[in-house]
């Protein structure tokens, strides 16, 4: 969950809401993440294998559509995972522009593409010290956030942070709800990563207890950090500056906070830390993302070439190469439109298959597989599912209005339709439904009810 997100999205959130009431967006994002996280918690605890969503979708929808839904999940993940990484590269170039004010459009494009190429090259050689790199990234990220929070506290103005424009909370205004939908989209983007442990279920001891806790505690912890960062920033930088594309506060707001409070030297230092955070987040993101098509292909849910490993370093070559290319394309899209459009595109692509279909999968499995051991059961079921479903529908329904002229809904539907065509080709080659018999496999788990402890719902 820790990356460059909060350093680039605060101005986007302020622009969406039109004022410091933008803090609502982070709170709404946390509510959606918590509700959706409970879906992940129950499914992950019940089926703690590698693969996450495609395992749950395969089990829930195999009775009617064979392997279509898990295939479509991997197909969409091949797009939205590298698009998430591309936002990190866009943020990298934005903050690099603070250290190098003369960095032009073409130069920034080349730097970003060079960063992506370097990440892929490093990963292509294999990686044996990923745990150490992840720990360093986490430490640098936390140091960057804490420095910005502490710096903001030393020069905090409650007047700046809590003086709202007229009609800021006009609930009957369409303008408010348009801003709310845009802020919710940005907010959930900042919390993405709360489901990571579900993809590593096979490697977690006592997943029925650990996985739900990891989801809940991580969201609550990040929410506290982001709120301090958001409010602190608004108490130092006039929000009007964040809406001006020509102002450094719109592209490098953390650097602007440090420059105003502790001076240019401190701002430069923190900017370097943020650049390291951005690079490391892209590095680890592509490392993990490239494993998604590999795991699926190995389980015969995706095209077989994606199951091939490098003969020496044992990493999935085709998955890494594909995601590297899509990351580069997404970066160029973000650079030549804007970061908000890129975030809108990637969240819209996620909604149909991963978000909405997975929520439906939870209810389907409760009905079809009452015998499945569930060491954790969703609190207040089905209320969190309803809240999550409604939240994702708001994001999807307002997508075109929040990105006028970009048509994210149409692009997402086109990508899913293309995925259906790809599935037909794959199913024909594999001779599975609809070109062969359905294969109904019952997922089993060794989890037992007492493992849930205090988290049992």
pLDDT of residue 307: 92
Q: Give whole-number Cα distances, 169 to 17, 54, 118, 180, in Å.
A: 10, 40, 46, 10
Largest Cα–Cα separation, the chain: 68
**What are the tens digits of pLDDT across the range 292-335?**
898 889 888 999 999 998 888 788 899 999 999 999 999 999 99
What average pLDDT does this structure show over 244-262? Answer: 94
CATH topology of domain 5-170+180-397: Amino acid/polyamine transporter I (1.20.1740)
Going by pLDDT thresholds of 50, 70 and 90, the confidence category of residue 456 is very low
Q: Which contacts qualify for 106-110: CB closer than 8 Å, 24 or more apart?
A: 108/335, 109/332, 109/335
Helix (H, G, I), strand (E, B) or coil at 325: helix
**What are the tens digits of pLDDT across the range 131-186?**
677 777 778 888 888 999 999 999 999 999 999 998 888 888 888 899 999 999 99
Going by pLDDT thresholds of 50, 70 and 90, the confidence category of residue 129 is low
**What are the structure tokens assigned to 121, written together?**
């090259």
pTM listed for this prediction: 0.90
List the one residue out of 193, 388, 397 whose CA is nearest residue 281.
193
List the chain domain ranges. Answer: 5-170+180-397
Q: What is the DSSP string of 216-266?
A: HHHHHHHHHHHHHHHHHHHTTS-HHHHT-TTSHHHH-HHHHHHHHHH-HHH
Q: What angle do CA 305, 310, 312 make, to 5 degrees?
A: 155
pLDDT above 70 (res 128):
no
What average pLDDT does this structure show over 2-12? Answer: 86
How crowded is residue 51: how many other Cβ atoms within 10 Å of its Cβ? Answer: 25
pLDDT of residue 201: 67
What average pLDDT does this structure show over 26-32? Answer: 94
pLDDT of residue 159: 93
pLDDT above 60 (res 448):
no
Helix (H, G, I), strand (E, B) or coil at 3: coil
């Amino acid at each position: 969950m820790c990356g460059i997100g909060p350093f680039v999205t605060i101005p986007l959130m302020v622009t969406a809401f039109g004022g410091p009431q933008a803090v609502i967006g982070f709170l709404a994002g946390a509510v959606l993440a918590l509700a959706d996280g409970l879906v992940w918690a129950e499914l992950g605890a019940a089926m703690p294998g590698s693969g996450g969503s495609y395992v749950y979708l395969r089990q829930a929808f195999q009775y009617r559509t064979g392997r279509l839904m898990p295939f479509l999940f991997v197909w969409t993940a091949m797009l939205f995972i590298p698009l998430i990484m591309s936002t990190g590269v866009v943020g990298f170039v934005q903050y690099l522009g603070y250290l190098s004010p003369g960095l032009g459009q073409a130069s920034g494009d080349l730097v970003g593409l060079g960063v992506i190429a370097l990440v892929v090259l490093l990963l292509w050689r294999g990686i044996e010290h990923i745990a150490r790199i992840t720990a360093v990234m986490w430490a640098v990220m936390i140091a960057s956030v804490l420095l910005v929070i502490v710096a903001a506290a030393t020069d905090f103005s409650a007047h700046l942070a809590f003086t709202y424009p007229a009609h800021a909370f006009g609930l009957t205004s369409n303008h408010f709800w348009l801003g709310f939908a845009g802020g919710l989209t940005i907010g959930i983007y900042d919390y993405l990563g709360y489901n990571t442990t579900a993809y590593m279920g096979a490697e977690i001891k006592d997943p029925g207890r650990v996985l739900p806790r990891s989801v809940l505690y991580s969201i609550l912890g990040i929410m506290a950090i982001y709120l301090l960062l958001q409010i602190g920033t608004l108490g130092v930088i006039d929000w009007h500056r964040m809406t001006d594309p020509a102002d450094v506060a719109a592209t490098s707001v953390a650097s602007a906070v440090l420059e105003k409070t502790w001076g240019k030297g401190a701002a430069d230092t923190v900017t370097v830390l943020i650049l390291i955070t951005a690079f490391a987040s892209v590095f680890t993101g592509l490392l993990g993302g490239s494993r998604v098509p590999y795991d699926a292909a190995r389980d015969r849910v995706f095209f077989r070439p994606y199951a091939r490993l490098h003969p020496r370093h044992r990493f999935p070559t085709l998955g890494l190469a594909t995601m590297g290319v899509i990351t580069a394309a997404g970066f160029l899209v973000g650079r030549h439109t804007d970061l908000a459009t890129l975030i809108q595109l990637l969240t819209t692509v996620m909604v149909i298959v991963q978000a909405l279909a997975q929520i439906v999968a939870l209810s389907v499995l409760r009905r079809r597989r009452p015998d499945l051991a569930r060491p954790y059961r969703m609190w207040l079921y089905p209320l969190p599912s309803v809240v999550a479903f409604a939240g994702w529908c708001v994001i999807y329904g307002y997508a075109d209005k929040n990105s006028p002229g970009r048509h994210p809904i149409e692009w997402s539907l086109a990508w899913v339709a293309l995925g259906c065509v790809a599935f037909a080709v794959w199913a024909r080659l594999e001779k599975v439904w609809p070109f062969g018999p359905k294969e109904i496999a019952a997922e089993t788990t060794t989890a037992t009810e007492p493992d849930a402890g205090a988290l049992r719902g």
